[in-house]
Structure 1
Amino acid sequence: MKKYFLGFISASILLSFISCGGKNTPAENELKFRIVKYEKQSGGCDSLREDNCAHIKIEFPQITEFENPTVKDKINKSIVELFSNDGSNSGEIDYETEMKIFIQDYEEFIKEFPDSYQSWFIERTGEVKLNKENIFSIDFMEYSFTGGAHPNTYVTFKNFNLNNGEEIKLDELIPKDKQQELTKIAEAEFRKLKELTSEADLGEAGYWFENKEFYLNNNFLITDSSLVFYYNNYEITAYAFGPTELEIPYIKIKSLLNEKSLITNFIN
């Protein structure tokens, strides 16, 4: 089974312009963006049965206006790189070739196994979750199937500092010397979410934390009320248990926050 990471597709294209906060001009510390949509299909994707069909849908935000063009270009480049299948950091990808490879591989599969009645699909989306207080946060998701026991879903969060266009790191929000306390608070929230007692063994409960000790990953989203950590399928437990979205309200970690971090604006 192959895994495909596709970017822009020069097929059926829809550009929808979204103005921040419903205004004609950006509010302070906000930027303007549009949602770019691309779709292409091969086979009978419109039929009720949808067998022998390949379908691709790409949807992502593209910044159109911001007071600092350097920041705008830097964030747009980072968004493009997330759609690359080769780890390219040039900000330029041959999307047409990516699309052709996917379609060709599917059609070759159907020729080799004409009785398989199998459909392939890729849906890659980028949804803006926060656009204020100099923070631009995006939820990227890939949902795909190219053969195998089940579809695959993968979620990645990215948070950008609108002052410089850089990705915001956890160390900028909570100092390293306070992250152990953050982990303790997060574990309590995790156990509450999973309905586990404080004494329950994480390994016996079906979780794959190293040495059976809870840890936070680096896949987090900044919202206006909490930090949200996301564990993808297979990351800490079996596929049957699904992914885990762990929310930690700012009110519970207020004392741990870096006083100069951007998220303090959501508390003060």
Structure 2
Amino acid sequence: MRLPLHTLRPAVMLFALALLSACASGPRNNISLIPGDQVAAQTSKEGLFTQPVKWEHKKPGCKGECPTIKLDSIVFPGNKKLTELVDHALATMTGISTKGVQPYDSVAGYQDYFWKTAAPRDSTLLSAKTRYRNKNLTVVELNTWQYLTGAAHGISATQFLNWDNDHHIVLALEQILQPGKLPDYVAALKAAHQKWLAGNADARHDPQTYNRLWPFQASENFAFTDQGLVIKYDTYQIAPYYFGQPELLLPYSELRDILQPQYLPAQG
């Protein structure tokens, strides 16, 4: 069972092929992805080796105000598949100004397209970083920010990739949940959202209006951390623009009967 498409973030659909390949292999049942002695830390330093790749380019031959692209990403030496997936995902997350399928599938292809179509003040930032790592799992956080000439502000988007280091696949939500537990996951997420609203001054001031304008949305955009699953939302999804990109935390203690046992912290 999957969440209805209208509840999903648009960026999730960009990884449909990756998720389908992930579903081809079942979850492991003989290890824990989250070492029990690391739960107190926010980020583990173990995992796949990474190297940074950074550059900032201005449209060739342009004088004065010029379109720009900045890349602050990572590559995985020895892991071509994940390196190419990160590159492809960042490129396809830029499709805010096109209709249908983008005419590019890589950052290099996007750059060529951008120089041909960008207005003078258009700007794009593409970034990728590891959010969590251990020997079995590498979580990559992908971020894009785009400013279109004349707009009031830029548009941002975030997507997580939960990469199984051994099987070389992206883990889909249905793989990490116990059978039939999707409704329980959504309920736990909704409860976390209610806690988040309790600390939101705007929501407390006029809850009826706030819930009408910014209703709860379920999401499959999850990331493993030492503390639990983090669910991250884009701007405008569950809050006004000035709230940025809200994150909701589902602690592992609340997921004992929801997650597959091998994706819970090891018990010492």
Q: Same fold (TM over 0.5)?
A: yes
Q: Classify the secondary structure of the residue corresponding to 2:91.
A: coil
Q: CA RMSD in A?
A: 3.3
2:136 match:
134
Contact kept in structure 2, 1:175 and 1:257, CA below 8 Å: yes
Q: Distance in 2 between matches of 1:94 and 1:31?
A: 22
1:81 pairs, out of 68, 84, 88, with 88
**Greater strand content:** 1
Contact kept in structure 1, 2:146 and 2:154, CA below 8 Å: yes
Letter in 2 for 1:62: V
Give a deviation string over 1:176-201, Cα, whole Å, max 9, x none: 4223223222222211112179xx99
Q: Classify the secondary structure of the residue corresponding to 1:84.
A: helix
1:59 pairs, out of 72, 79, 102, with 72
* Within-5 A mapping of 1:1-268: 30-42=47-59, 52-65=65-78, 72-85=79-92, 86=101, 93=106, 95=108, 98-106=110-118, 109-110=119-120, 119-147=121-149, 148-195=151-198, 204-206=209-211, 214-259=216-261, 261=262, 263-265=263-265
**Post-superposition offset of 1:240:** 4.7
Give a deviation string over 1:98-131, Cα, whole Å, max 9, x none: 324423434xx45xxxxxxxx3211100011122
**Post-superposition offset of 1:75:** 1.7
**Post-superposition offset of 1:221:** 1.0
Structure 1 unmatched runs, 5+: 1-26, 46-50, 66-71, 111-118
Letter in 1 for 2:165: L
Q: Distance in 2 between matches of 1:188 and 1:79?
A: 32
**Post-superposition offset of 1:243:** 2.8
**Post-superposition offset of 1:78:** 1.5
TM-score (norm 1): 0.66
Instruction: Among all aligned residue pairs of Structure 1 and Structure 2, give the percentage whose two residues are the same amino acid.
Output: 18
**Greater helix content:** 2
Change beyond 3 A, Cα 1:241–1:224: closer
Bigger CA radius of gyration: 1
Q: Distance in 2 between matches of 1:267 and 1:202?
A: 40
Contact kept in structure 2, 1:36 and 1:59, CA below 8 Å: yes
**Post-superposition offset of 1:156:** 0.8
Paired positions, count: 210
Q: Distance in 2 between matches of 1:249 and 1:138?
A: 19
Q: Which structure carries more relative contact order (alpha carbon 8 Å, separation 6+)?
A: 2
Contact kept in structure 2, 1:224 and 1:266, CA below 8 Å: no
TM-score (norm 2): 0.66
Q: Distance in 1 between matches of 2:245 and 2:111?
A: 28
**Post-superposition offset of 1:61:** 1.7
